[in-house]
Structure 1
Amino acid sequence: MSRRAATIVDVAKRAGVSRTTASDALRGHGRVSEGTRVAVEQAAAELGYRPNTAARSLRAATTGTIGIHLPEAMTRIDYYLQTVYGALEQAGADEVDVTVITSRRLAGEQPPPSVDGIILLDPLADDPVAERLLALDLPIVTLERAFGEVATGVVSADHEGAIRELLDHLASRGSAAPAFLASPAVTDWGTRAQVVYSAWCREQRIQPTIVERPFGSDSAAYAEATREVLAARPQTDAFLCGPDGSAIVVADVLQDAGRVVGEDVLVAAMVDSPALAYTDPPVTAVDLAPRAAGALCVELLVRIIRGEARPDASVPLPIEVRYRASTLGR
């Protein structure tokens, strides 16, 4: 079996520098010291690294196309679809084309698409396609951070602040035992959400209750999770719902169980959607501004490609809590 070809990430690890620094050193770009340049070149020689000549030609004469990678499990989630729509709108304004990179497209040994740069939406820690894309010698922007020590351009929101605001609000409304229906900790967002919920519970001296369901789960899975919590902890008086679309299911199960949402049990969502504003009762949620997120990702990537922003630049995404009857009462 042939050995996997060395990537720019391998070179960076061997030289003890970031991917961006390794790339700059091999190109003679950026502010790289002579010692670092020598170390990177030596690492590349030891590993037999061969630069991606296609990628280099793209820098000199761009294709005018960027790629967006969205794992198949996330194509059923409205939040990510809205993010893609926002990206497409911004791409049109910036006069660049967009190629959607599917997991199936790169599952084998197919070459990566000819693009000037790539956007990864909430990269999954266990997604081999995301890992392969992150290793390419191309400008990359991620919505929330990639796992590991890969340096990319990042668009990120203050999820910790929003979740704490929600939990403090639930407590102010009388909740003493909030449960968390969580997405798995395989994305930056999913991990941060579980960390801040657990920390908040410790500070309040509350026993945390976390039940996970995979990304893209159906309504039956969220209903089962709600019943699981109620059976294990009948005293649960609030639900913090992570997965997009789960809050409506949780509210339905609670009402079927004779609980009054907004009064004796509170429900809040970490991902807002138009449906949450019109359900009965309307559900308090964090507006994650998905279209703005997609637009900011494209805007940042285009600026990096054009040399107007650093390859590891970070851009904040403003988000806010929308308070509704599910936590305020009828």
Structure 2
Amino acid sequence: MATVRLRDVAERAGVSIRTVSNVVNGYAQVADDTRRRVEKAVAELGYRPNLAARNLKRGRTGMVALVVPELDVPYFSELARAVIAEGRKHGWTVVIDQTDGEPDRERELIIGGAGAALFDGVILSPLSLSQADLAERRGGSPLVLLGERIAESPYDHVAIDNVAAAYAATEHLLDLGRTRVAAVGDQPYDTGETAQLRTRGYRDAHAARGLAVDDSLIVATHRFHRSDGAAAMAALLDRPGGPPDAVFCYNDLLALGAVRTLLTRGLRIPQDVAVVGFDDIEAGRYNTPTLTTVSPDKAVIARLAVERLTARIAAGSSGADPAQAGPPAEFWAPHRLIVRESTGG
């Protein structure tokens, strides 16, 4: 079967080759009617752009990186799927890497080392990187930051409002009439910004009702894994002051671990202890009981991150300073509370 060329599409649509190129490359300066004719011709002829040639001409690799702390944490693997899908819409091949939260690895990927030159841009969810580390970065490919580790930097940043999300989760448990609401997942150290924001939301929800917080019900965990949640729940059940009647876990894996401990101790969910998680991972939807959770909109997070990265890359490829795509900005993705069986939904 003969390869379909730009010229073939142009002849079918009755336009110039340049116009077809503008449509295929997503440039805005094309009339809507013309764009529709070109897109129809592209579909009818089955035209596929030569991405390798296009990227070579632009001085690009056609690859962007998504760098996360842990791929075996389902939130990050589900986010990676969303970023890959969004990147495909923009013609990017998305390469996934994980850092295990190691400072040297994060620095290597965005500041120096062979990997830094492989990608046209990087989307990074840092765990250990600091603002001082980013201050060492000079030039390099465009960078978009995810999460809460570095909220103020010269780079675009996409996150959710963790304080408001944790407030909503805690408020839901208080609305159920629960009076001893525990919190599992606090991380009171330098790299625990996300957890600290969720603890603030937990405290704010109590304060809004004039309720004192029993600090012994706030349990810190080193990581957000099932084993951490199971151990934290065991500690809460064994505490001298008596067990909680509800628990807000800072991610779904912690919640699933807590559920396991509760069930093995013979407690009923939600009758004895109501449980709320965070992240809305697939495992929570199919757990028994199904898990009430805060659901960050991963699709929106992915879209915002890829769109901002693409805009920065496009500005740089045109010979302009990537900063001409606009000043660094904060982008907030929505979240919602999904009520399921673990709180009586």
The verdict on a shared fold, with TM-score over 0.5 as the criterion, is yes
Match of 1:113 in 2: 117
Aligned residues of 2:80 and 2:96 also touching (Cα < 8 A): no
CA distance in structure 2 between the partners assigned to 1:183 and 1:158 by the alignment: 17
State the 1:223 CA deviation.
1.4
Give 2:310's match in structure 1, choosing from 281, 302, 317: 302
Match of 2:40 in 1: none
State the 1:101 CA deviation.
4.2
- The superposition leaves residues 160-187 of structure 1 with CA deviations (integer Å, 9 ceiling, x where unpaired) of 2222111111111111111111153525
Match of 2:137 in 1: 135
CA distance in structure 1 between the partners assigned to 2:245 and 2:66 by the alignment: 40
How high is the TM-score relative to the length of structure 1?
0.71
CA distance in structure 2 between the partners assigned to 1:65 and 1:133 by the alignment: 25
State the 1:294 CA deviation.
2.4
Match of 1:48 in 2: none
Aligned residues of 1:85 and 1:291 also touching (Cα < 8 A): no
State the 1:250 CA deviation.
0.9
Give 1:191's match in structure 2, choosing from 166, 187, 196: 196
2:266 counterpart of 1:268: no
Alignment of 1:162-177 (within 5 A): 162-177=165-180
Aligned residues of 1:184 and 1:213 also touching (Cα < 8 A): yes
Amino acid across the alignment from 1:177: R
Instruction: Go from structure 1 to structure 2 and tell me whether the alpha carbon gap of 1:261 and 1:148 turns closer, same or farther (over 3 Å shift).
Output: closer
Amino acid across the alignment from 1:100: I
CA distance in structure 1 between the partners assigned to 2:303 and 2:60 by the alignment: 20
Instruction: Go from structure 1 to structure 2 and tell me whether the alpha carbon gap of 1:135 and 1:197 turns closer, same or farther (over 3 Å shift).
Output: farther
Amino acid across the alignment from 1:266: A
Runs of 4+ in 1 over 6 A off after TM superposition: none
Give 1:226's match in structure 2, choosing from 220, 233, 237: 233
Aligned residues of 2:123 and 2:145 also touching (Cα < 8 A): yes
CA distance in structure 1 between the partners assigned to 2:339 and 2:222 by the alignment: 27
Moved more, 183-192 or 296-305: 183-192
SS state at 1:211 partner:
strand
Match of 2:256 in 1: 248
Amino acid across the alignment from 2:276: A
Amino acid across the alignment from 2:143: I
Alignment of 1:29-44 (within 5 A): none
Instruction: Go from structure 1 to structure 2 and tell me whether the alpha carbon gap of 1:270 and 1:130 turns closer, same or farther (over 3 Å shift).
Output: farther
Give 1:161's match in structure 2, choosing from 159, 164, 169: 164
Give 1:94's match in structure 2, choosing from 85, 90, 97: 90
Amino acid across the alignment from 2:293: A
CA distance in structure 2 between the partners assigned to 1:169 and 1:246 by the alignment: 18
Instruction: Go from structure 1 to structure 2 and tell me whether the alpha carbon gap of 1:280 and 1:143 turns closer, same or farther (over 3 Å shift).
Output: same
Match of 2:340 in 1: 324
Aligned residues of 2:224 and 2:253 also touching (Cα < 8 A): no
Percent of residue pairs bearing the same amino acid type = 23
CA distance in structure 2 between the partners assigned to 1:312 and 1:256 by the alignment: 49
Amino acid across the alignment from 1:118: V
Instruction: Go from structure 1 to structure 2 and tell me whether the alpha carbon gap of 1:258 and 1:130 turns closer, same or farther (over 3 Å shift).
Output: farther
Match of 1:206 in 2: 213
Aligned residues of 2:82 and 2:299 also touching (Cα < 8 A): yes
SS state at 2:117 partner:
coil
Instruction: Go from structure 1 to structure 2 and tell me whether the alpha carbon gap of 1:130 and 1:318 turns closer, same or farther (over 3 Å shift).
Output: farther
2:60 counterpart of 1:62: yes
Match of 1:4 in 2: none
Listed as ranges, the gaps of 5+ residues in structure 1 are: 1-57
Aligned residues of 2:71 and 2:98 also touching (Cα < 8 A): no
Aligned residues: CA RMSD: 2.9
Q: Which has the larger radius of gyration?
A: 2
SS state at 1:245 partner:
helix
- The superposition leaves residues 18-68 of structure 1 with CA deviations (integer Å, 9 ceiling, x where unpaired) of xxxxxxxxxxxxxxxxxxxxxxxxxxxxxxxxxxxxxxxx9x833332222
Count of equivalent residues? 266
Match of 2:29 in 1: none
Moved more, 297-306 or 165-174: 297-306
- The superposition leaves residues 296-320 of structure 1 with CA deviations (integer Å, 9 ceiling, x where unpaired) of 2112211222247424123221211
CA distance in structure 1 between the partners assigned to 2:120 and 2:327 by the alignment: 13
Match of 2:298 in 1: 290
Aligned residues of 1:181 and 1:241 also touching (Cα < 8 A): yes
2:314 counterpart of 1:314: no
